[in-house]
Structure 1
Amino acid sequence: MLSSLLLPVLSLPACYAQSGEAVGNNKASSSQLSDAGLQLVPLTISSAGKTHKFTVEVAGTVEEQAQGLMFRQKLAPDEGMIFPFPEPRPASFWMKNTVIPLDIIFVRSDGTVESIAANTTPYSLEPVRSGEAVAAVLELAGGRAAELSIDAGDKVEWPR
């Protein structure tokens, strides 16, 4: 774990809230839960005149964000995980204990894609960082952003 004075980072993704405190403003129904017990919400990405639909898990607490997609063996093409932050901040993730490659998409407060780290390396301890303060991070199956031509500036929308 890195010090919050140096970078706002914990192991695979991080955020700052009291233990168990929600870090996003999630309005999803608790009746829609993933196998991991996380809330499921619809998410769309608008790119080059097309809309791509996903169902994503919301990692809304410190514990959920620290766990992220670690140890998962698969991620369907229309699934992912969103990590909302209470306030925009520089984000840094790593792939420790993450079995599958991921596309890590950094999302600004206005919902636009700031940058994409494509096909991140499983188990890597190298930090994957946003280029500026972001409001959320979206993880999709590795290579999915390229398949759908998702790029910086595209729009990401989900219930917040």
Structure 2
Amino acid sequence: MRIFLRSLIARLALAAVLPVAAVSFALAGAGNAEAQQMPPGAKQPSEFPRVKLTVGMFVVDAAVAANDPDREQGLMYRTQLAPNEGMLFVFNENAVHCFWMKNTLIPLSIAFIRADGTITDVDEMQAETTNNHCPRNNGVYALEMSKGWFQSKGIKPGMKIQGLPQPQ
């Protein structure tokens, strides 16, 4: 009887542990969901160069997309951004640069910026859409942040962004 009870207790303990282990395994995999969603050849978020920008009294930690492949990928496939994290797009020409949100999983706000750092336009963009978002003015930079970031910080056209890298 004692052996039977030990065996029964061992089986019950194992039955209690297996679901916990399965949930733990599933949760551990969820932490890598962003990496798993990136298609082969896509740049991981940590692989983009970064720059600290100042907008009013706020500091932005921005990944920099300054070449065609990086600008094409942008924030595609990302599932989240830190509170003051964004992506700065740097262009080699002063022009109207339009954006869309194909394969971009999170809604974003975008500020279009002149070479001198002046914000010319701010727009809100819905996730996974192909609507064009174009500024009314020429510019050299665009800064994408989580949707509503500029409005919540009181950042508007006419304000300047400091710390912008020079276009190449």
Q: Percent identity?
A: 33
Query: What do residues 94-115 of structure 1 show as CA deviations (whole Å, max 9, x unaligned)?
Result: 0001100101110011111000
Alpha carbons 2:88, 2:141 under 8 Å: kept: yes
Task: Please name the residue that 2:76 is paired with.
Answer: 70
Q: RCO higher in 1 or 2 (8 Å CA, sep ≥ 6)?
A: 1
5+ unaligned residues in a row in structure 1: which ranges? 1-33
Task: Please name the residue that 2:130 is paired with.
Answer: 125
Partner Cα separation in structure 1 for residue 107 and residue 94 of structure 2? 25
Alpha carbons 2:98, 2:135 under 8 Å: kept: yes
Candidates 35, 38, 41, aligned match of 2:48: 38
RMSD: 1.2
Q: Structure 1 length as normaliser, TM-score?
A: 0.73
Amino acid at match of 1:90: V
Listed as ranges, the matches of 1:121-160 within 5 Å are 121-160=126-165
* Shift in Å, 1:159: 4.2
Partner Cα separation in structure 2 for residue 129 and residue 58 of structure 1? 20
Amino acid at match of 1:124: T
Task: Please name the residue that 2:27 is paired with.
Answer: none
Task: Please name the residue that 1:15 is paired with.
Answer: none
* Shift in Å, 1:86: 1.1
Partner Cα separation in structure 1 for residue 158 and residue 150 of structure 2? 13
Partner Cα separation in structure 1 for residue 68 and residue 120 of structure 2? 23
Task: Classify the secondary structure of the residue corresponding to 1:128.
Answer: coil
Partner Cα separation in structure 1 for residue 140 and residue 149 of structure 2? 21
Partner Cα separation in structure 2 for residue 109 and residue 41 of structure 1? 16
- What is the number of equivalent residue pairs in this alignment? 122
Structure 1 or 2: more strand by fraction: 1
Task: Classify the secondary structure of the residue corresponding to 2:53.
Answer: strand
Higher Cα Rg: structure 1 or 2? 2
Partner Cα separation in structure 1 for residue 98 and residue 72 of structure 2? 12
Amino acid at match of 1:131: R
Q: Structure 2 length as normaliser, TM-score?
A: 0.70
5+ unaligned residues in a row in structure 2: which ranges? 1-43
Candidates 104, 107, 126, aligned match of 1:101: 107
Amino acid at match of 1:53: V
Query: What do residues 17-51 of structure 1 show as CA deviations (whole Å, max 9, x unaligned)?
Result: xxxxxxxxxxxxxxxxx7440111101112xxxx1
